[in-house]
């Protein structure tokens, strides 16, 4: 058993330097996104930011070659979690009125 799978070049192979640039860019974007979520203080806006952050995380998993995790993050992080939070906020707001 070889320790590493041999690199295969296909028509879709991305140059390593370009891939590195992509990965670093998305990592920086994720850090910025997480900070933006924390710095947003108004709850409804924060939920929208969180949804956008979910999209960024999905991109992160994509450029790190984990398409299955990308799909999960896309559906749960960017769609379902914000919906649950928005519903909770709607309930709280109704009680406050």
7-15, 35-43, 51-59, 76-84 -> range binding other proteins (CB under 8 A): 76-84
Total count of residues recorded for the chain = 97
Interface with other proteins in residues 10-49 (CB under 8 A): none
Q: How far is the CB of 39 from other proteins (least distance, A)?
A: 23
Question: Would you count residue 68 as binding other proteins (CB under 8 A)?
Answer: yes
Task: Identify which range of 6-14, 31-39, 46-54, 64-72 contacts other proteins by CB under 8 A.
Answer: 64-72
């Amino acid at each position: 058993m070889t320790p590493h799978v041999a690199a295969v070049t296909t028509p879709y192979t991305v140059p390593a330097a370009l891939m590195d640039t992509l990965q670093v860019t998305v990592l920086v974007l994720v850090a910025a996104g997480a900070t933006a979520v924390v710095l947003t203080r108004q709850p409804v806006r924060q939920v929208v930011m969180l949804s956008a952050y979910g999209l960024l995380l999905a991109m992160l998993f994509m450029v790190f070659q984990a398409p299955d995790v990308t799909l999960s993050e896309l559906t749960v992080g960017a769609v379902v979690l914000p919906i649950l939070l928005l519903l909770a906020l709607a309930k709280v707001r109704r009680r406050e009125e």
